[in-house]
Structure 1
Amino acid sequence: NGHLCTLRYIGPLDAWPNFTAYGVEWDDPSRGKHDGEHDGKKLFECRVEGSGSFLKSTKRFDKLSTFVEVVNDLYVNGEKLTNAVGGDLISIGSKVLEKVGFDKDINLMRLENISVSQRGVTDISYFYDLHIGKKHNAILAEALRQDKEKIQKLGLTNLKSLDLGYNLISDFSYVSHLISVFEETLESIILNGNRFEISFQIDDLRKSFENIHHLSLSATLVTNEDLQLLGHLFPKVKSLNLSMNQLQLEEIINLSHWTSLEMLDLSYNKLTATKLNQARLPSSLRKLNLSNNHIADRLLLPVSIMNNLLDLNISYNLISDWKCVEYLGCVNSELKNLRINNNPIYTRALAEQNSNTLPLKASVGIIALERLNGRAITPLDKQDAELYFISKVSNRFIRIEDFDPLNSNRWKELAAKY
């Protein structure tokens, strides 16, 4: 039914004496029932807690396809081609007619974006018997050569964005194979929801796809080691999506060699401030999304990174102390866009009927701030906020001593200004 899973166990199960059991780990953990146990006995391991279940061997799996088959089905024989090129079919009543002279090859040449997401696309090696000893490499090489010819015949000569998300591609070398076909034009590749085995030979590490500027690896369970290998393949990536990867930073994440990276999405993981503060991130970062994690304390990222950030999203975390936000104003004078909604500090402020002061605090403490939680902060808003706080301080409703010592210079500036 289109749901993806990884086969972790094939064998007997006491509950089904007449059937072979498949133990599977679902990509969607909500479909799982356990961690691979049956009657107290561990039969397989799950990478994501609670995502395992058993299926009878009579269960029919969905049909798998090659990349070429899916593109033909969707864009040559199906509806997407018509929609993508502006409509070459005409309707007369209930009948749909094709215009005379319609040239599918020419239209495919005009396509800049292709999506084969959720279509059962798998590695080309799946369709060949590769358990034949010494002939393995030769047969696979020939299969890839033929596959490349078929892809080239599609005529996708202007392809800029390719979405391979939520398929069954497990060998990253096949991704490299596909990219190499479109290497001259391809700029963005989306690989969300695939589960890769990433291992490269020395020759693979000599390759690099310098035209790829956007790479999305959401929900792939990619590891820190994988990311270091991938950094060699994609040296010019500016935007990297690593959301929903169950990252807990048990080992220190190292993206320092992604030296062109400007936008990084680490949302929907299990990151804490303590672990993030040890992460090695490139100083080229301008936009960082850390929403929906477990951040409760100050982000003590290196000053070289904090000083350059223009956009930071720390919404939907566990931040309960406003000093975490004050600190951002101390170490980053360039931050223009901040999202901090749906943290405990907002819940507490609402309970105290004091929520209006939160935007004021942010706009006063972070000098360059232009947007807070998606709302624009105008110069008049900022002036009103500054005057409001000066009045509160002068009337001792707010004590300077309560603010972060690192922020004292900011309050001195306000005092001098007014």
Structure 2
Amino acid sequence: MAHPRSAFDMATEFYIGKRLSYDGRLCTVRYLGEVKGTKGEWLGVEWDDPTRGKHSGEHGGVKYFECLNKSLTAGSFIRPARKPDTPHSFAEALKAKYASDPVQDPDVHIVFATKPGDNALKKDPLARINQPIRISGKEVEEVGFDKIRKQLAQLSELKIVILDGMCMERSLARKKEGSDAWPEGLTDVKDACPKAVELDLSRNLFEEWREVASICEQLEKLKSLRVDGSRFRDTSVTDTERTRCLKVFASITDLKLEENLLPWEDLARLTHLFPSLTTFSASSNLYTTLTPHPPNPTLTSLTLEDNALTSLSSLTPLTTLPRLRRLILKQNTISTLTTTPSTNPPIFSPTVEELDLTYNAISTWSFIDALPTSFPGLTSLRVSHNPLYAHLLAPDGRPLTPEDGYMLTIARLGQLKTLNYSPITDKERLNAESYYLGLIAKELAFAEEGAEAEVLGRHPRWGELCEEYGKPLVRRGFGGGNPNSLAARLVRVRAYMGGGKMDEGEAREVEMEVPGRCTAYTLLGMVGRAFGVKPMRCRLVWETGDWVPAPRNMKQDAGSESESDYDSAPDESGDEETHAPNSVMREVEILPGTRSVGTWIEGMEATIRVELR
């Protein structure tokens, strides 16, 4: 359907893949020829900004071209006679960005001071050079335009060069018949900014990777390269060019190729041209899966943010990276471990310590439980803003807060040291794992007879936690009644003052019944009122009555937790409770917040020690 280029009577030569700019908007030629129902010839273009166009390459039911973006509004038809923006060379773009003529601010009025009746300026306008300048009534120092221009023009000292969106091309470096590499001996870039360490060439008119390589070849100190938002029609290199590229990119450790819509195979191949590459970002490239083409094994940090990845198994090519330490998967649609039930979950290198899964579609705890298998070295996780934390329920059907969800995440991932950038302290882990054990016990209590194996199958750490803290008491009476009845919703609380000075005659022990759904803030207020102290002075500690072996990571030494953190009051029944040596009372501090009391306390009765802060 397309006509040969010789059929076009145009001032400028067009071809498929040509990069153009109209009024500062970048596009790529995808079609040359006629359009049914119209007269004359057209250029079918795909805009880099998909909201700029009007269709997807289709007109009148006829598909003329495909858009890489797959957007319904990325394509347009424009007349070849329409004049595009003039492309710039590297030196022109650099000068326009860093050494352009200063523009006068229309809001600033410069008033030259003259004496009343002085006609000297009328006779000699140049005489104003010697006059003081006043802005808003204040005399200021005059800095001549020549001085400003000279300061901006110190291009040779630039170390960070950002030429994003400067309508730049480098046609002299494009592939030509009979040549196996771009021209040698070029000095235009080196002459302009030889000290550049960081270079951003994003959103320009480059069509071939050779154009980028020919620029970087002249920057011997370059460490970081960014080429986002380009639409390369050719990323291949000849054997000769590959040898030169390995030398050109030898010192670059940080590479960003975002929003280029290149196939993963092409991006992975490009990374192998960077011998020292450690940090690579391929965000916003619309990937739904990665083809089996591993990137450079030197990578330690990889970012695949804002793509369309749906499962961890779509990242299988990354499991071969032996040094990968940090993997950023933010803002994808990841919800499963594998694409099919018969597929084995991927297992990444033990070197992967940091994982970012924020803003994905994770909705099940089974995904969280499987992370230690897929990431055996995982110690730092970001997992906020997932559906899992928006619909949490306790075993009795009561809603839990995202705060509860993060505690359960800590408890389910025993090797985790940092969650959402917050270090996990030993005490936080003790509270989280104790809380988790309590919820499992409550779930067992509500489960039907014979369903214990099914329940425990949903909690892989049950055995490990029971060995660490002791098996909690399962009060199966929970399941016999209606969890929505008034009796099931009330918790009988015995609160006693465990320390602090009290006025004579004030109560040291109270009993009360509180709804299980009331918040910790409400309980704190009731206890404070009962003892006649300000609620925020009270520290509430639920004594579970369970004696467990002292956790290995909680052994006390000088400067560790105070004795009151572990010792409970003697049983007032007079019967001395026996327990194993080196064991401690399992206690849970009820922290002020909106979390319901029923999610802190197991059972319908509780003893709470009140300590004054």
> What is the TM-score when the length of structure 1 is the normalising length?
0.82
User: 1:317 matched to which residue of 2?
Assistant: 360
Q: How many angstroms apart in 1 are the aligned matches of 2:148 and 2:41?
A: 54
User: Closer, same or farther in 2 for the Cα pair 1:65/1:32, shift >3 Å?
Assistant: same
Offset from partner CA, 1:175-218 (integer Å, 9 cap, x none): 11111101x21000000001121111111222312211011000
User: Where do residues 240-259 of structure 1 align in structure 2 (5 Å cutoff)?
Assistant: 240-249=280-289, 251-255=291-295, 258-259=296-297
Query: Which of the residues 194, 200, 224 maps onto 1:163?
Result: 200
Does 2:223 align with 1:187?
A: yes
Query: Which of the residues 39, 44, 63 maps onto 1:23?
Result: 44
Q: Indicate if the aligned counterparts of 2:181 and 2:238 stay in contact, CA closer than 8 A.
A: no
User: 2:213 matched to which residue of 1?
Assistant: 176
Q: 1:298 is matched by which residue type in structure 2?
A: L
Q: 1:38 is matched by which residue type in structure 2?
A: H
Q: Indicate if the aligned counterparts of 2:268 and 2:293 stay in contact, CA closer than 8 A.
A: no
Offset from partner CA, 1:24-79 (integer Å, 9 cap, x none): 11222223333211111121122221222222334332221111111112223357
User: Closer, same or farther in 2 for the Cα pair 1:293/1:103, shift >3 Å?
Assistant: same
User: Closer, same or farther in 2 for the Cα pair 1:262/1:414, shift >3 Å?
Assistant: farther
User: 2:27 matched to which residue of 1?
Assistant: 5
User: Closer, same or farther in 2 for the Cα pair 1:28/1:371, shift >3 Å?
Assistant: farther
Q: 2:135 is matched by which residue type in structure 1?
A: G
Query: Which of the residues 207, 228, 240 maps onto 1:203?
Result: 240
Offset from partner CA, 1:339-368 (integer Å, 9 cap, x none): 222222123228934433210011122234
Query: Which of the residues 60, 66, 72 maps onto 2:95?
Result: 72
User: Closer, same or farther in 2 for the Cα pair 1:410/1:159, shift >3 Å?
Assistant: farther
Instruction: Kindly name which structure, 1 or 2, has the bigger radius of gyration based on alpha carbons.
Output: 2
Offset from partner CA, 1:295-347 (integer Å, 9 cap, x none): 11127764342x22222111222211111112224554643432222222123
User: 1:390 matched to which residue of 2?
Assistant: 437
Q: 1:12 is matched by which residue type in structure 2?
A: E
How far the C-alpha of 1:278 sits from its partner, in A, is 2.9
SS of the equivalent of 2:272 reads helix
Does 2:432 align with 1:365?
A: no
User: Where do residues 18-417 of structure 1 align in structure 2 (5 Å cutoff)?
Assistant: 19-49=40-70, 50=72, 51-77=74-100, 93=135, 96-97=143-144, 107-125=154-172, 137=179, 141=183, 145=185, 148-154=186-192, 156-182=193-219, 184-196=220-232, 197-207=234-244, 208=246, 209-249=249-289, 251-255=291-295, 258-273=296-311, 275-281=313-319, 282-298=321-337, 302-305=346-349, 307-330=350-373, 332=375, 334-349=377-392, 352-396=399-443, 401-405=456-460, 408-409=463-464, 412-415=467-470, 417=551
How far the C-alpha of 1:160 sits from its partner, in A, is 0.7
How far the C-alpha of 1:219 sits from its partner, in A, is 0.8
User: Closer, same or farther in 2 for the Cα pair 1:54/1:410, shift >3 Å?
Assistant: farther
Q: How many angstroms apart in 1 are the aligned matches of 2:195 and 2:30?
A: 40
Runs of 4+ displaced beyond 4 Å: 98-106, 137-140, 299-302, 330-334, 394-400
SS of the equivalent of 2:25 reads coil
Q: How many angstroms apart in 1 are the aligned matches of 2:322 and 2:180?
A: 44
User: 2:576 matched to which residue of 1?
Assistant: none
Q: How many angstroms apart in 1 are the aligned matches of 2:134 and 2:38?
A: 56
Q: Indicate if the aligned counterparts of 2:229 and 2:259 stay in contact, CA closer than 8 A.
A: yes
Higher helix share: 1
Q: How many angstroms apart in 1 are the aligned matches of 2:66 and 2:148?
A: 57
SS of the equivalent of 2:144 reads strand
How far the C-alpha of 1:149 sits from its partner, in A, is 2.1
5+ residue gaps, structure 1: 81-90
How far the C-alpha of 1:373 sits from its partner, in A, is 3.3
SS of the equivalent of 1:356 reads helix
Q: How many angstroms apart in 2 are the aligned matches of 1:186 and 1:139?
A: 21
Q: Indicate if the aligned counterparts of 1:335 and 1:366 stay in contact, CA closer than 8 A.
A: no
For structure 1, which segment, 325-334 or 43-52, has the greater mean C-alpha deviation from structure 2 after superposition? 325-334
SS of the equivalent of 2:355 reads strand
Q: How many angstroms apart in 1 are the aligned matches of 2:152 and 2:47?
A: 39
Q: Indicate if the aligned counterparts of 1:217 and 1:241 stay in contact, CA closer than 8 A.
A: yes
User: Closer, same or farther in 2 for the Cα pair 1:65/1:412, shift >3 Å?
Assistant: farther
Q: How many angstroms apart in 2 are the aligned matches of 1:29 and 1:410?
A: 52
Percent identity between matched residues is: 26
User: Closer, same or farther in 2 for the Cα pair 1:219/1:139, shift >3 Å?
Assistant: closer
Q: 2:239 is matched by which residue type in structure 1?
A: I
Q: Indicate if the aligned counterparts of 1:235 and 1:259 stay in contact, CA closer than 8 A.
A: no
> What is the TM-score when the length of structure 2 is the normalising length?
0.58
CA RMSD of aligned residues (A): 3.3
Offset from partner CA, 1:382-417 (integer Å, 9 cap, x none): 232123223334555687604354774355345452
Q: How many angstroms apart in 2 are the aligned matches of 1:347 and 1:395?
A: 21
How far the C-alpha of 1:102 sits from its partner, in A, is 8.3
Offset from partner CA, 1:120-165 (integer Å, 9 cap, x none): 0112338x9x98x76xx49973xx64xx3222221x2321100001
SS of the equivalent of 2:327 reads strand
How many positions carry a matched residue from both structures?
393
Q: Indicate if the aligned counterparts of 2:389 and 2:401 stay in contact, CA closer than 8 A.
A: no
Q: Indicate if the aligned counterparts of 1:333 and 1:367 stay in contact, CA closer than 8 A.
A: no
